[in-house]
């Protein structure tokens, strides 16, 4: 948690620190503590997102620049009516490869928050949440997004052999979730007498699963949060 040798110029440049080396008023004491201990600060503006993380014993600021296909306002507004999907592109890859991610944004009525789920990192949480809606429209929309993402990943694996192994792992996860949700959708469309038994799907805590496995990849954010256990 050392404050010595912080990359002050970079922190000031991106508005994380003030000219007098105090931290921005937009950050709480908890935010600052987490940031100094490896957590990531997320800044969203319109369709742009930037993430900031201190690495190398807090001497270097790692910056990742992302761009969504939809604005934050659009995502927050639409997610109140249905599950909203968006695509995120990462232009920060050192080799010039464009990294592409798929996100689902679900409104948590209980906590009045929009929670963001990654199709790959949070697959174990996302699929059960959508399945538990028992809404064939939402299930079909999710399947369509999975199919499109699977096609994209396959093309990128062929196009960029240097990162093919990583893409294939993502592809396997997406394909597995597509199979699960397809079976659930088929079962919902059958008469009660023909339905197969399915164990009840529950929402797991995102902090202890996909997020918790990467202690240095937590995010500090106000408007869109990472997965938590909630009721839709």
Domain boundary among 49, 67, 85: 67
Same domain, 106 and 187: yes
pLDDT (tens digit per residue) in 135-175: 999 999 999 999 999 999 999 889 888 888 888 999 999 99
Same domain, 164 and 75: yes
Q: Which residues of 103-119 are buried (b: 16+ CB within 10 A; e: fewer)?
A: bbbbbbeeeebbbbbbb
Same domain, 47 and 84: no
Please report, for residues 33, 64, 102, 156, the alpha-carbon distance to residue 68 in angstroms, rounded to integers and kept in the order given: 28, 13, 10, 18
Same domain, 136 and 171: yes
Structural domains in the chain (count):
2
Same domain, 12 and 94: no
In a domain, 145, yes or no: yes
Task: Read off φ and ψ for residue 223, nearest 5 degrees.
Answer: -90, -40
Task: Read off φ and ψ for residue 40, nearest 5 degrees.
Answer: -110, 135
For the entire predicted model, the pTM comes to 0.71
Same domain, 121 and 27: no
Same domain, 187 and 130: yes
Q: What is the residue range of 144's domain?
A: 69-198
Same domain, 2 and 42: yes
Alpha-carbon distance of 201 to 197, in angstroms, equals 12
pLDDT (tens digit per residue) in 17-49: 999 999 999 999 999 999 999 999 988 888 988
Same domain, 118 and 57: no
């Amino acid at each position: 948690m050392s404050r010595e040798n912080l990359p002050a110029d970079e922190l000031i440049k991106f508005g994380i620190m003030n000219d007098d080396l105090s931290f921005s008023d937009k950050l709480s004491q908890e935010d600052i503590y987490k940031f100094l201990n490896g957590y990531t600060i997320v800044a969203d503006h319109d369709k742009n997102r930037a993430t900031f993380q201190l690495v190398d014993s807090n001497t270097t600021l790692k910056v990742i620049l992302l761009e969504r296909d939809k604005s934050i306002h659009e995502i927050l507004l639409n997610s109140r009516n249905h599950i909203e999907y968006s695509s995120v592109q990462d232009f920060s890859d050192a080799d010039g490869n464009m990294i592409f991610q798929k996100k689902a944004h679900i409104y948590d009525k209980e906590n009045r928050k929009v929670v963001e789920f990654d199709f790959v990192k949070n697959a174990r949480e996302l699929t059960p949440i959508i399945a538990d809606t028992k809404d064939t429209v939402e299930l079909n929309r999710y399947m369509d997004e999975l199919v499109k993402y699977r096609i994209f990943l396959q093309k990128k694996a062929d196009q960029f052999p240097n990162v093919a192994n990583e893409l294939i792992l993502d592809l396997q996860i997406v394909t597995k979730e597509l199979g699960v949700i397809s079976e659930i959708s088929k079962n919902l469309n059958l008469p009660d007498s023909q339905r197969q038994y399915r164990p009840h799907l529950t929402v797991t805590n995102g902090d202890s699963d996909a997020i918790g496995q990467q202690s240095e990849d937590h995010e500090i954010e106000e408007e869109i949060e990472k997965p938590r256990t909630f009721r839709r």
